[in-house]
Copies of this chain bind each other. A is one copy, B any other.
Amino acid sequence: MAKKEDFTPLSKLGEFKLIEELTSNFTLNQGSSILGIGDDAAILEPLTGQTLISADSLVEGVHFDLTYVAPGHLGYKAMVVNFSDICAMNGLPTQVLVNIGISNRFGLEFLKEIYAGIKAACDVYDVDLIGGDTVSSYSGLNLSVTAIGQADAQKITKRSGAQENHLVVVSGDLGGAYMGLQILEREKSVFQENPDIQPELKGNEYALGRQLKPEARTDIVDLLEKLEVIPSSMIDISDGLSSETLHLSQSSGYGFALYEEKIPIDPTIYKLCEEFNLTSTTVALNGGEDYELLFTIDPKDYDKIKGNPNLTVIGHVTEKGGECKLITRDNKLLPLNAQGWNSINEKNY
């Protein structure tokens, strides 16, 4: 992080100088990027397939807390959550536009760190920054990101295609991002009470990484292509397994049954749940921000994914008009509830 003394007020730079300072080290690498930053609009020429496009905003105090989120991580995460939306359509991200609203309490150095995070994500995911806007904000920091991607028309996976008896599959494991947030919130309140106490973060690297530096599962999109599996429906897990399952159910009109014992949870997350007196299943169902992919497949594709360490079958699609249920370890049926973003005034973690 920049030292306190390195503070160049943004008012010292004009808009154009500022944009140049922030974006001059970005290059265009995608064949579909004809023209990037610097004109009234960027120019794209999709090489193949259809174009996917998604926009998401991150607002200080609502989606992130700068007390414990470094600006570089913030820039990285703002990209990843948008790339994840493209993955959720079974596509790969190719371009991105970033609008940043900033108040005068942020200096150039801070903004440069955000852009370093944006650049790191663009490099990792081979995505071109092609445009955006930098505007004043009277309060905090907000990032509004538009991600563009490509996919072959016959490969694109919507939320709506689940059919009866299809299998429900999830990538990776769940609940880590939420437990990372719990640790950060705990250490923040400890610090607020006694600033001399050093934060206790050691041993919790997995959970913290899941919260602070999530990844978009472009590798799963590639894997599905390699395995020759086209999911019948797909969504990314931003609001928790429960809420996303309900989306796939509502969009398709079919019920879903999930098995508690099948939900993949990392051993370190089980341990943390115990420490925080939380139930790991609840954390996986309602925690959110894991950015794993949740999808359904035709049972005939089961052999193709069987035994793959990145994919876990956690349930199946039930009858038309059915409900969404969790089958617990002791064989009880519990209805799934949406616990995601449910109030405009509520903290969306």
Partner-B contacts on A (CB < 8 A):
9-11, 13-15, 18, 34-35, 38-46, 50-63, 85-86, 88-89, 91, 95, 97-99, 101-102, 104, 130-140, 142, 144, 146-149, 153, 156, 158-160, 234-236, 251, 338, 340-346, 348
- Asked whether A52 and B62 contact (CB < 8 A) given A10-B345, A142-B142, A344-B13, the answer is no
B11 near A146: Cβ-Cβ < 8 Å: no
How far apart sit A99 and B56, CA to CA, in the bound complex (Å)?
7
A156 near B43: Cβ-Cβ < 8 Å: yes
How far apart sit A59 and B131, CA to CA, in the bound complex (Å)?
18
B135 near A11: Cβ-Cβ < 8 Å: no
- Asked whether A45 and B51 contact (CB < 8 A) given A135-B59, A138-B61, A342-B14, the answer is yes
B40 near A89: Cβ-Cβ < 8 Å: yes
Query: How far does the Cβ of A121 sit from chain B's closest Cβ, in whole Å?
Result: 17
Closest 8 CB pairs of A and B: A144-B144, A139-B139, A40-B88, A41-B54, A10-B344, A41-B52, A44-B51, A55-B97
A89 near B50: Cβ-Cβ < 8 Å: no
How far apart sit A132 and B57, CA to CA, in the bound complex (Å)?
9
| Residue from B54, B95, B144 in contact with A57 in the complex, judged by beta carbons closer than 8 Å | B144
B138 near A62: Cβ-Cβ < 8 Å: yes
Q: What are some 25 contacts across the A-B interface (CB < 8 A)?
A: A11-B344, A18-B344, A39-B89, A40-B85, A40-B89, A41-B53, A41-B147, A42-B53, A43-B50, A43-B89, A51-B51, A53-B131, A53-B148, A55-B132, A56-B99, A56-B133, A57-B101, A60-B138, A62-B138, A104-B344, A134-B344, A136-B344, A138-B140, A139-B139, A146-B146
Query: How far does the Cβ of A5 sit from chain B's closest Cβ, in whole Å?
Result: 20
B-side contacts of A59, CB under 8 Å = 101, 135-138
B-side contacts of A13, CB under 8 Å = 344
Chain B, residue nearest A345 (CB): B11
How far apart sit A46 and B50, CA to CA, in the bound complex (Å)?
8
A139 near B136: Cβ-Cβ < 8 Å: no
B-side contacts of A44, CB under 8 Å = 50-53
- Asked whether A99 and B42 contact (CB < 8 A) given A55-B132, A62-B138, A136-B59, the answer is no
How far apart sit A25 and B201, CA to CA, in the bound complex (Å)?
49
B52 near A236: Cβ-Cβ < 8 Å: no
How far apart sit A46 and B46, CA to CA, in the bound complex (Å)?
8
| Residue from B42, B60, B137, B158 in contact with A52 in the complex, judged by beta carbons closer than 8 Å | B42
B-side contacts of A51, CB under 8 Å = 43-46, 51
B43 near A52: Cβ-Cβ < 8 Å: yes
How far apart sit A153 and B99, CA to CA, in the bound complex (Å)?
26
